[in-house]
Every structure is written in C-alpha cells, then in structure tokens.
C-alpha cells in the first residue's frame, strides 16, 4: 500500500479525503504538525500545489493538498482565499458575510476546491478543481456541516449544505466534485510501476 501524506494538520480533512479515496489502495496520513506551509498563492489551485509540493519535498513522500473557499458574486469573489480567516469562528464568519450582504439582491455564490498531488520530488503530477454554485441565504438553515454550510443554499436541491446528509454533501460539494475529477487520474497513476 502506497503512502499519501495529506498536507494538513486537520484530522477532519484527513477523514474526508479517506472517504473520497476509499476505493484506492493508498494509506493516507497527516503531515507532521511542525511542518508548516505558508499559503502565498493567489488562487486556490496555486495554494493547493504549493502545500502538496512543499510537504512532498520535505518528507520525500507523495503528498496531497487541497485549498478551498467561498466566493460571493456581490462581494467581488470575497471572502475567497480568506474564507477561513474571515472571522475567528464559524459564527463570526457567517455574521460578517450576512452583514456584508444586507440589502443585496444578487446572492449568487460558489464554493471552489482545488486539489493537487505531488510526487516525492515535489513535482505536481495531478490537479483537479471542483465548483459548486448556489446562493447565500439571509439566515442560517440546518444543523450539520461546518463553516458557511448553514447559509450556502443549493436551489436545485432545495437545501443548504448544513441540511444535507454526509453522502449527499460528498457527492454534490465542491470537494466532492474535485475528487470525482481526480479519482480516475489517481487510479491510472496508481497502476503505473
């Protein structure tokens, strides 16, 4: 079984990636906590590649990384790369977002997720991106999920991410879509000598 280091210190993200990649023969592990990578990219794709490459080089192992965030039309794509830093807590981030959108009629938004895989030399060998379009509600709906999930509504599903069960969210989310694109590529990579 080949090892794939997940360029994060977040055990929740590790579990989520394990779920997406469960049909493959890869053993996923967290990067060491002391190994930090500064996200200096200007896009989600650049940040994912940066994290995967630096972790792979530092450990001389295969590495996978993702970077994701929420882009709101009326806010010119904000919070974007700074989605996680838009407030100290999920509640603060949601409150700031809803305040910024008070009185705004265009509530269109999209979640974006970029995933990159680097070989032990740090070369990016696979990349994928998933986008999930929806809109921002004026108040929270649902108890599940995390982050902006309670206010991110998918009209075609008639529910927020926070109202979806794990299987629905995995299939429909930006991260799920990125991994659906990545999976066949990763399978072919795995079969190479």
pLDDT for 26 equals 85
CATH (domain of 80): 3.90.950.10
Burial of 77 (0-12, 13-18, 19+ CB in 10 A): middle
Q: What is the pTM of this model?
A: 0.91
pLDDT tens for the chain, 193 residues long, are 688 999 988 787 888 888 888 888 888 999 999 998 989 999 999 999 999 999 999 999 999 999 999 999 999 999 999 998 999 999 999 999 999 999 999 999 999 999 999 999 999 999 999 999 999 999 999 998 888 999 999 999 999 999 999 889 888 999 999 999 998 888 877 655 4
pLDDT for 64 equals 96
- Active site residues per annotation: 67
Q: How many domains does the chain fold into?
A: 1
Separation of alpha carbons 88 and 92, rounded Å: 6
- Residue range of the domain that includes 119: 2-191
pLDDT for 1 equals 64
Residue carrying the six token digits 């379009």:
133
The alpha helices in 42-173, defined as continuous H runs, are 44-59, 90-100, 166-172
């Amino acid at each position: 079984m080949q090892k794939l280091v997940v360029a994060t210190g977040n055990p929740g993200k590790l579990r989520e990636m394990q779920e997406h990649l469960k049909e493959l023969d890869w053993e996923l592990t967290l990067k060491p906590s002391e190994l930090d990578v500064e996200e200096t990219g200007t896009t989600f794709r650049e940040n994912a590649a940066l994290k995967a490459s630096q972790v792979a080089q530092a450990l001389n192992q295969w590495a996978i990384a993702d970077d994701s965030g929420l882009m709101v039309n009326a806010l010119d794509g904000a919070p974007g790369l700074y989605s996680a830093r838009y407030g100290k807590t999920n509640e603060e981030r949601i409150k700031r977002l809803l305040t910024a959108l008070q009185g705004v009629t265009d509530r269109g938004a999209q979640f974006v997720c970029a995933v990159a895989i680097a070989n032990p030399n740090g070369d990016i060998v696979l990349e994928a991106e998933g986008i999930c379009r929806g809109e921002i509600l004026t108040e929270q709906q649902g108890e599940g999920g995390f982050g902006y999930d309670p206010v991110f509504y998918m009209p075609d599903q008639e529910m927020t991410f926070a109202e979806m069960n794990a299987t629905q969210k995995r299939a429909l989310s930006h991260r799920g879509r990125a991994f659906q694109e990545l999976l066949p590529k990763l399978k072919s990579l795995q079969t190479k000598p």
